[in-house]
Amino acid sequence: MNYLKQLILSCATVVVMGCETVAPWDREVLARPEMQLSTDPMGDALFEQVYLSKEASAGGYKTAGGGCGCN
Question: What span, in angstroms and rounded, lies between the C-alpha atoms of 35 and 33?
Answer: 5
**Can you give the pLDDT at residue 58?**
54
Q: What is the pLDDT along the chain (71 residues), one digit of tens a residue?
A: 688 999 999 888 888 877 778 888 888 888 888 887 887 888 888 888 887 777 665 555 555 555 565 55
Question: What span, in angstroms and rounded, lies between the C-alpha atoms of 53 and 59?
Answer: 9
Convert 12-50 into a string of H (helix), E (strand) and C (coil). Answer: HHHHHHCCCCCCHHHHHHHCCHHHCCCCCHHHHHHHHHH
Question: What span, in angstroms and rounded, lies between the C-alpha atoms of 32 and 19?
Answer: 21
**Can you give the pLDDT at residue 40?**
84
**Can you give the pLDDT at residue 36?**
79
Is pTM beyond 0.75? Reply is: no
Q: Where are the domains of the chain?
A: 24-61
